Amino acid sequence: MSSLNKIMLIGHLGKDPEIRYTPDGSPVATFSLATSENWTDKSGSRQEHTEWHLIVAWNRLADLSKRFLSKGRQVYVEGRIRSREWNDRDGNKRRTTEVIASQIVLLGSRPQGVETVAQPAETTARSSSEPEQSFGDFGITDSDIPF
């Protein structure tokens, strides 16, 4: 094996997914995900560190993210890390690191105020990481849906 680029995260959404469309009409969703680490330091004080991750989902996974994810929802995200650079409006060079999601699984209970969807939908989805690739059959049936 020459290399491996894989990340697995469990955390809570920091905001509702935002969805945009590429010029060819492919949907892309972005949202922030918080993961937290807790420990006790040498003095016995409880410490916590929260790391924020930028998640990017393409195509069908983007549509499902917009439909079923909301701020505070706990999810499992699997994907790969990608860094990219660009120049902002002022000409300053910027860099960001993001997780390109290949799988998102809903975890925990549904947050209060979220209505049950009238028609069953997938709660686990896999995505190709690039917009030009297509999605296949996920093999998910109505019995896989927890609500």
For the whole prediction, is pTM greater than 0.85?
no
- Please compute the mean of the pLDDT values over residues 101-117 and round it to a whole number: 71
Annotated domain spans of the chain: 7-144
Q: What is the pLDDT of residue 119?
A: 30
Pairwise CA distance, residues 81 & 55, whole Å? 9
| CATH annotation of 7-144 | 2.40.50.140
Region of poorest pLDDT, from 43-52, 75-84, 135-144: 135-144
Give the E-state strand segments of the chain in sequence order: 7-13, 18-21, 27-40, 46-58, 74-87, 93-107, 124-126
pLDDT digits (tens, 9 = 90+) for 5-27: 999 999 999 999 999 999 999 99
